[in-house]
Amino acid sequence: LDSLLQESIVKMSEEIVEFAAVKQFTEDKSSLIIDVRNPDEFAAGHIPSAVNVPLPELGNALGLSAEEFKEKYKFDLPGKEDAIITNCKMGGRAGKGYNLLKETGFTNLKLYKGSLKDWMEQGGEVVKEE
């Protein structure tokens, strides 16, 4: 049991990203950063290049056709192997979004556990919507 627990902890730690990695992803656009906060929170300030799919909508959003998804969320429905990072304000909702994506069959996921709070504390640029 101990070895199984250790393996699980190591696996999870491989799936957590920190500020420096997320900053790199905002610059090279190699990962889709999904902010699962509510639209008003997202508009008030978010990580550059992040897109918004609120956590309460995430499950249904993933069931939409590619056309419906793009029309509603203004970006392409990600593929199951696309690199995706979830974030929110402090990490709780991002973890739930991460788990929901994983349960839906997405395989290339990372969780920004520190989320926006850590991003701002590290001096990351914050984009505000008009």
Catalytic residues: 88
Structure tokens at 22: 């997320």
**E strand or H helix at 12:** helix 2-14
Other CB atoms within 10 Å distance of the CB of residue 126: 13
Residue 110: name the closest of 10, 39, 22, 8 by CA: 22
